[in-house]
Structure 1
Amino acid sequence: MDDIVFIGDWIKERELGKGSFGTVVLWKHKKTDEKLAIKTCQWGDELSEKHRARWTKEVEMLQGCRNPNIVGTKDLPPEFVKGLERANPSGLPILCMEYCSGGDLRQVLNKPESCAGLKEQQIRQILSDLRCAMHFLHQNKITHRDLKPENIVMHILDSVQSNVAVQGQRKVIYKLIDLGYAKEIDSNSVCASLVGTLQYLAPEIMYSKTYSNSVDFWSFGLVAFELICGKRPFLPFMAPVQWMPHVKKKAHENVCVYETFHGDIEYSNEVFPENYISKPFKALIEQWLRIALEWDPKLRGRDSPSRVTFNIPSEQKEEASKIVIFDVLEKILEKKIVNIFSVATLSKLAYEVDDATTVQMLKSKICNDTKIPTNEQILITQMNYMEPGDDECIVKYWNENIMLFLYNKTYIMKDNVEAIVPKAVQRCLEHPKAFYNYKNSQNLYKNALYLVMSQMELYDSLINGLFVRAESLKCEGKQLLLKHNSVDKNIGNLLARQEILKKMTDSGKAHITELKESNGSHLLGGFDKIFKNADDITGRIQKLQTAWSQLTVRLQSATRRSNEVITADINNFVTKHNYQAVYANAYKAFLNYKKSESANRGREVQCHDIVEICYYCLKLRNKILQEVRQQAFVLKLMDVSTEFSKIDDIVLNAADSTNKLMTDVTNLLDELTKCTWATISCVVKDAEFSNVPYSVVSFEKKDFKIGEPVSNHCIKMTNKLEDDEVLKSLIEDSMKIRQSQMNLSLKLNSQKELLKKLDFSFLKDD
């Protein structure tokens, strides 16, 4: 097939893969740029009937599998039937498949940066797609029997497809390939053939004469573990015939079996600590791994209540449970986990949340882990650089691609935060001249690269946290200005009301002073208390106004400082202090080790290069943390944060004081009005109007009756007045009479008072 380069408008690009039977070649259409992966059998008549049947079965199975996570088949262009005759001597069906341009998962896992596993989001995507593919196969009673990273390929979506709502608008879809070993068996069927890649085979395929589709559960668990930790869970340095006797002894809770530095076999209930997944996801996936990696094939992948019921016969165990491996994984992947980076403690936090989880509940969990009191915590989301309210639902701010940042109100970063160093790295730093065998040296280089990468990631999160805090302070300044303007408007309304009160009290004081000096009325004493309260309120308002003016200046200054661009300062710091050189050296050392790996298998070596890199990495970490604490932009962030916190408290207090003063002013105005009218009522009641003509007395409307006089003093007129001068004269006379009556009343009252003072006791009979 090597000499066949052109078939019609199709051009051979390259060979994608070659197995023991088939060869996969990539072809590209020169006009449409369409790409096809075409698989042909490279053998001819020497193929046995068994192998011919297997090939035909794979083609039929793939053509019958319509699932987004299983590589799809396409119709073979007619020109290939004739063009590939020489390349297909067996005459077996040619398999035409969609081309997945991202390569396979083994290529991803072999990268140095994947030595300690993949990122959690990528792991979730892969497990979700694998679950979909495997569940589909098992529903159709098909067992793959060769599930491994090499048989998982990545289909890169183009710009058009990425806009489609399928697969959550992801850029990559993981697909299962190579159904060459697949067979139509289910949980109730058995098979006796030895197939598949040995390291990923379930134990019963080699130990037992028969097996069911639970062999795929075992392979699925191994692949999942390798995605998380970068290596297989069960003694990866041993051949299957060596590690299976040890794994057979494991308890149900054990998810990995490993060899210690000194060669002892250890069993663990947890995945290796060197990974990139969150604690909640780790706990959930470990529960699932216990189901997938169950040694007993009759219990594997099932809910298995019979695990603790030993009196149930083995043949009845399967009937006592049901397959749950796919449902459990689906529920795990549906869980929402909020990722938080704590700038204060330089640590990553993660919590499972749901629709009922409030921000306050999340802060309580954070307090338990970081010992930062809830009232000192500041949570900022990258969505809008705002701090969510304590009563808000945290799911509102959840996004698997976005991290929340945690700050402490009293300090930026805690002092003396210890680095988390893998045990292998700790040992090499304590014994820098030690010799390592092949297994231990490989573990050291992987853990060392993981240390450098984790410190880089921590540093990137810290810098992002400082950027986010700077942006959040800008938003906080804007929010404070809005609060300030709202309170300022209320203070303006208060001053307007206070001005009305002041005019009324000033006018009242002048009139009452004049009345007291002229008449000495005893009815005006109630106003003194009102005027005193008015003076007190005026003084309080003046103090508030003065303090508010000072606060306005402080807020303007703090807002100006928060808006000052610190991006350049942070970028300059990152340019000067970073892990790029350390990472490049660690990456290079890892690649050099991989190149000489085969030569070092049988001997012990020293690892001076990686020991030196680890030492320098931790030294650089301490230097960066010391330097960043002293940077002007960090101190500015802390100062502005503290100032905004104080200003916010003052604004809230000012708002409360303004509302209280507004209430006091309103109440005092009401009291002044009531007192004024009460005084008028008393004055009116003291006067005698029995002889006052109707023309100068005010009557209420209810006292009038149409056609009748308004008082007893009214004389019914028979003729209408014809001359206005007569009417004017009558009014003037009435006014004079009214004035005379008032003067007379005053004299009578004074005479009464004088008479009261005289002693008339001499008139009494002895």
Structure 2
Amino acid sequence: MDDIIFIGDWIKDRVLGSGSFGTVVLWKHKNNDEKLAIKTCKWGDELTAKHRERWTKEVEMLQTCNHPNIVGTITLPAEFVSGLAPMNPSKLPILCMEYCSGGDLRQQLNKPDASCGLKEVKVRKILSDVGSAMQFLHNNKITHRDLKPENIVLHVPNGISEPSEDKIAYKIIDLGYAKEIDSNSICASFVGTLQYLAPEIFYSKTYSNSVDFWSLGLLAFEIICGTRPFLPFKAPVEWMPFVKKKTHDNICVYETFHGDIEYSNEIFPENHVSKPFKSLIENWLRVALEWDPKLRGRDAPSKVTFNIPSENKDAASASKIVIFEMLQSTLAKKIIKIFSLSKISQLAYEIDSTMTINTLKEWIFKETNIPIEDQMLISPSNCMDIENNEPVMKYWNENSAVMLFLYNKKHMIEENTSPVVPKAVQRCLELPKALYNYKNSQTLYRNAFYFVVAQMDIYDFLINALFTRGESLKQESRQLLLNHNNVDKKLGKLLAKIETIKTMVEIGEKHIEELKENGTGTNILGGFTKTFKDAHDLTDKIEKLVSAWSLLSVRLQSAARRSNEGITTDLNNFVAKYNYQAIFSNAYKTFIAHKKSDFYNANREKERQCPDIVRVCYDCLKLRSKILQELQNQQFILKLKDLSLEFSKISDIICKADENTDRLSTDLENFTGEFTTCIWSTISVVVRDVDNIADLPYSVVSYQKRDFKIGEPVTNHFLTGNHDNVDEIKSLVTESLKLRQNQMELCEKLNSQKNMLLQNSVFDFSFLNGN
């Protein structure tokens, strides 16, 4: 096919890959963006009948496997049938496939930033797509037998230069080794890539489709950790005897720095997945990487029977394949990811639809010891402080590395926060002149580059957390202004009401003073003394609140103005001065140079020092320390601290002022009712007892105007009969009113004492002036 460049309107672009038997070439249509991946057999008569059968079987399987995560076939354009005939000596079918422009998964894993695995979002997507494709194959009684990163390609939609993870589809290719066998069938052929083959293919003459479970488990481990789980520097014949000894819980067998063999129940700590997902995937890996094929991928009953189920077995006792179910369940779990600014660390928790922010804060307290009342959770999407009763699920986003930022109200960034340093990096810093063999140097370079990338991620989260806090303070100031305005309106209404009461009280006091001067009718007005005193006390409290409130208004406006100035410019200047770009670039060059060195490709038994990567690790730690030290004294940090504290105080004051305004409003309503009752009670007494009261002025009680003249005593018009009786009646009424007056004065004293005990502290507004 090398000699053919043009076929009809199609132009040969490049060779995508070449295997043992076939070559895949990319062809582009000259009039549009259509692309085809065409696979032809490179051999002719030297092919055996078995090889021809394998090739034909792959074409047939791909043409019948219609699944979004299995590379699709396309009808070969007619011009290629004749155009490629000279380059197809075998006369075997030509396979025309959709073109997947993202390359294969091995290319992704070979990138330096994937040296310790891929990000969790990508891991989830790969396992979801590949798991779905493998389940489809097994449901159709097809075993792939050669699942590996090289046989998984990335399909990217046309026109998208930098697609998000949800836009990429991972597809299985190369069904050349696939065979139609089910869980009860056995096969004896030795096929597939050695490092990904299940143990029984080496140790037994027969195997079932559980070999794919093993390969899927190895693939999952590698995309999470960047390396295979079982002694990756050894050939299968060397590592399998060690792996055979592992228990069900062991999912990793590795060689220590000193060459000892260790068994582990966990994946390597150098990874980019959250703790909850790590725990979930480890449980799944125990099922996928079970040594015994009779148990692998199956549920608990199989561990009792130790037999591959047969059709004659009782359904209740038969083991069940659960590997795909478990994987789907694991991937369906929702994990909220949080970055704590004060601790400079990442937190993650598995959540469900019923969980609230308050419960999340309780979990955070258990892990970080930050009291719930000091925690503040802010969403980067809206920069708003989240209420405790809100559902956590509202802020979950599967494509986001950080879904919430956690702040400690008392500490912006705590001092003496220690980084998580891989053991290999710790060792190189403690022993910078240590000698490394090939295996140990590989581990060091991988872990060192991972450490740099991890520190870059944390720095990125830290800067975003500071930016989000700055934006949230703007939102907080707006909310405080709204709350302030609401209280201000309440105070305005309260002032309007108290002004009316003040006017009524002033008129009442003046009128009573005039009556006292005339000495007429005052014997029934003693109750107003207490009422007027209550009015003055209430007025005094309201005026004090309003006076203090005006000072708070100025304070809030000043804080709001400072918050609106923002910190973006200062942050950008800081990032421009302090960043990891130079260290990352140096680490990248060092990593690539090591892979190209003779140490990597030859002389693997020789030991040597690794000063270049030691320097990278040292510079990374030094920069981290300097950044944290410089941050503590940055003006924008001090501004965030000051505004956070100020807004917290102002918020408390507004809440208390709101409560006191409501309380005073209630007291004013009660007073108005009492005042009205007092007035009407006095009028009622006058109306009821008017026949027995002498010298009552017209201004207090009025009868028919025709019966008397204005200003004259009422008694001149209606008092008749014996004057001795009248004097006696007057004396009795006077004594009765004196008793009433004494009773009122006693009540007033009791109420005064009660107020001193219960109300004086309630209306202390000194908090409005607090710092």
1:211 maps onto 2:217 in alignment: no
> Would you say the 8 A contact 2:302–2:320 is kept in 1?
no
Please state how far the C-alpha of 1:34 moved relative to its aligned partner. Answer: 0.5
Q: Give the TM-score normalised by the residue count of structure 1.
A: 0.90
Corresponding residue number in structure 2 for 1:705: none
> Would you say the 8 A contact 2:707–2:717 is kept in 1?
no
User: Matches of 1:62 and 1:131 in 2, distance apart?
Assistant: 17
Task: Give the paired residue count.
Answer: 716
Please state how far the C-alpha of 1:734 moved relative to its aligned partner. Answer: 4.7
**For 1:118-267, what aligned pairs fall within 5 Å after superposition?**
118-159=118-159, 170-267=166-263
Corresponding residue number in structure 1 for 2:754: none
> Would you say the 8 A contact 1:162–1:170 is kept in 2?
no
For 1:294, the aligned partner's letter is E
Q: Give the TM-score normalised by the residue count of structure 2.
A: 0.90
* Secondary structure of 1:175 counterpart: strand
Corresponding residue number in structure 2 for 1:634: 637
For 1:401, the aligned partner's letter is N
> Would you say the 8 A contact 1:100–1:153 is kept in 2?
yes
* Secondary structure of 2:227 counterpart: coil
Corresponding residue number in structure 1 for 2:658: 655
> Would you say the 8 A contact 2:165–2:399 is kept in 1?
no
1:601 maps onto 2:604 in alignment: yes
Corresponding residue number in structure 1 for 2:613: 610
User: Matches of 1:282 and 1:737 in 2, distance apart?
Assistant: 98
Question: RMSD value over aligned CA atoms?
Answer: 2.5
Please state how far the C-alpha of 1:171 moved relative to its aligned partner. Answer: 2.0
Cα distance change of structure 1 residues 294 and 502 upon mapping to structure 2, 3 Å threshold? same
Cα distance change of structure 1 residues 315 and 501 upon mapping to structure 2, 3 Å threshold? same
Corresponding residue number in structure 1 for 2:690: 687
1:88-137 Cα distance to aligned partner (Å, 9 max, x none): 11111100000000000000000111000000000000000011100100
User: Matches of 1:259 and 1:737 in 2, distance apart?
Assistant: 118
User: Matches of 2:254 and 2:728 in 1, distance apart?
Assistant: 121
1:593-612 Cα distance to aligned partner (Å, 9 max, x none): 10111134120010011111
Please state how far the C-alpha of 1:501 moved relative to its aligned partner. Answer: 1.1
Corresponding residue number in structure 2 for 1:320: 318
Please state how far the C-alpha of 1:751 moved relative to its aligned partner. Answer: 6.5
Please state how far the C-alpha of 1:756 moved relative to its aligned partner. Answer: 7.7
1:489 maps onto 2:489 in alignment: yes
> Would you say the 8 A contact 1:26–1:35 is kept in 2?
yes
Please state how far the C-alpha of 1:527 moved relative to its aligned partner. Answer: 1.1
For 2:587, the aligned partner's letter is A
Corresponding residue number in structure 2 for 1:557: 558
**For 1:426-445, what aligned pairs fall within 5 Å after superposition?**
426-445=426-445
> Would you say the 8 A contact 2:502–2:535 is kept in 1?
yes
* Secondary structure of 1:226 counterpart: helix
User: Matches of 1:161 and 1:260 in 2, distance apart?
Assistant: 42
* Secondary structure of 2:482 counterpart: helix
Please state how far the C-alpha of 1:514 moved relative to its aligned partner. Answer: 1.9
> Would you say the 8 A contact 2:556–2:650 is kept in 1?
yes
Please state how far the C-alpha of 1:750 moved relative to its aligned partner. Answer: 8.8
Please state how far the C-alpha of 1:320 moved relative to its aligned partner. Answer: 3.3
Cα distance change of structure 1 residues 86 and 531 upon mapping to structure 2, 3 Å threshold? same
Corresponding residue number in structure 1 for 2:367: 369
Corresponding residue number in structure 1 for 2:284: 288
- Decide which structure has the larger Cα Rg and report it: 1
1:640-684 Cα distance to aligned partner (Å, 9 max, x none): 011000000000000000000000011101100011000001011
1:315-370 Cα distance to aligned partner (Å, 9 max, x none): 56996320111111111111111000000100000011111110000000001111
For 1:261, the aligned partner's letter is F
Once structures 1 and 2 are overlaid, which stretch shifts more, 357-366 or 509-518? 509-518
Once structures 1 and 2 are overlaid, which stretch shifts more, 498-507 or 237-246? 498-507
> Would you say the 8 A contact 1:304–1:320 is kept in 2?
no
User: Matches of 2:161 and 2:603 in 1, distance apart?
Assistant: 47
* Secondary structure of 1:687 counterpart: helix
Please state how far the C-alpha of 1:687 moved relative to its aligned partner. Answer: 1.7
Please state how far the C-alpha of 1:268 moved relative to its aligned partner. Answer: 0.3
For 1:207, the aligned partner's letter is Y
1:427-459 Cα distance to aligned partner (Å, 9 max, x none): 111111111111001101111111111111111
Corresponding residue number in structure 2 for 1:724: none
Once structures 1 and 2 are overlaid, which stretch shifts more, 517-526 or 450-459? 517-526
* Secondary structure of 2:407 counterpart: strand
Cα distance change of structure 1 residues 315 and 57 upon mapping to structure 2, 3 Å threshold? closer
For 2:453, the aligned partner's letter is M
1:743 maps onto 2:730 in alignment: no
* Secondary structure of 1:605 counterpart: coil
Corresponding residue number in structure 2 for 1:378: 376
Gaps of 5+ in 1: 691-697, 701-730, 759-766
> Would you say the 8 A contact 1:162–1:169 is kept in 2?
no
* Secondary structure of 1:435 counterpart: coil
The structure 2 residue matched to 1:676, chosen from 679, 687, 692, is 679
For 1:342, the aligned partner's letter is S
> Would you say the 8 A contact 1:355–1:393 is kept in 2?
yes
Please state how far the C-alpha of 1:699 moved relative to its aligned partner. Answer: 13
Corresponding residue number in structure 2 for 1:761: none
> Would you say the 8 A contact 2:295–2:306 is kept in 1?
no
The structure 2 residue matched to 1:358, chosen from 356, 359, 362, is 356
User: Matches of 1:406 and 1:732 in 2, distance apart?
Assistant: 80
* Secondary structure of 1:219 counterpart: helix
> Would you say the 8 A contact 1:146–1:195 is kept in 2?
yes
Cα distance change of structure 1 residues 733 and 339 upon mapping to structure 2, 3 Å threshold? closer
Cα distance change of structure 1 residues 538 and 115 upon mapping to structure 2, 3 Å threshold? same
**For 1:27-66, what aligned pairs fall within 5 Å after superposition?**
27-66=27-66
For 1:247, the aligned partner's letter is V
User: Matches of 1:96 and 1:533 in 2, distance apart?
Assistant: 96
User: Matches of 1:752 and 1:689 in 2, distance apart?
Assistant: 11
User: Matches of 1:511 and 1:749 in 2, distance apart?
Assistant: 34
For 1:223, the aligned partner's letter is L
Corresponding residue number in structure 2 for 1:339: 337
Please state how far the C-alpha of 1:305 moved relative to its aligned partner. Answer: 3.2
For 2:273, the aligned partner's letter is I
Cα distance change of structure 1 residues 500 and 757 upon mapping to structure 2, 3 Å threshold? closer
User: Matches of 1:72 and 1:293 in 2, distance apart?
Assistant: 30
1:580-630 Cα distance to aligned partner (Å, 9 max, x none): 111111111111110111134120010011111111111111111000111
Corresponding residue number in structure 1 for 2:424: 424
Please state how far the C-alpha of 1:314 moved relative to its aligned partner. Answer: 3.8
User: Matches of 2:365 and 2:509 in 1, distance apart?
Assistant: 60
For 2:342, the aligned partner's letter is A
Cα distance change of structure 1 residues 280 and 740 upon mapping to structure 2, 3 Å threshold? closer
1:581 maps onto 2:579 in alignment: no
User: Matches of 1:561 and 1:750 in 2, distance apart?
Assistant: 83
Corresponding residue number in structure 2 for 1:712: none
Corresponding residue number in structure 2 for 1:534: 535
Once structures 1 and 2 are overlaid, which stretch shifts more, 313-322 or 563-572? 313-322
> Would you say the 8 A contact 2:122–2:165 is kept in 1?
no
1:267-316 Cα distance to aligned partner (Å, 9 max, x none): 00000000000000000000000010000101111113343x4xx45456
For 1:293, the aligned partner's letter is L
> Would you say the 8 A contact 2:354–2:391 is kept in 1?
yes
Please state how far the C-alpha of 1:732 moved relative to its aligned partner. Answer: 8.1
Cα distance change of structure 1 residues 90 and 495 upon mapping to structure 2, 3 Å threshold? same
User: Matches of 2:607 and 2:667 in 1, distance apart?
Assistant: 88
Cα distance change of structure 1 residues 484 and 332 upon mapping to structure 2, 3 Å threshold? same
> Would you say the 8 A contact 1:235–1:243 is kept in 2?
yes
Cα distance change of structure 1 residues 516 and 6 upon mapping to structure 2, 3 Å threshold? same
For 2:177, the aligned partner's letter is Y
* Secondary structure of 1:13 counterpart: strand
> Would you say the 8 A contact 2:125–2:166 is kept in 1?
no
User: Matches of 1:285 and 1:755 in 2, distance apart?
Assistant: 104
For 1:678, the aligned partner's letter is S
Cα distance change of structure 1 residues 521 and 738 upon mapping to structure 2, 3 Å threshold? closer
User: Matches of 1:757 and 1:83 in 2, distance apart?
Assistant: 135
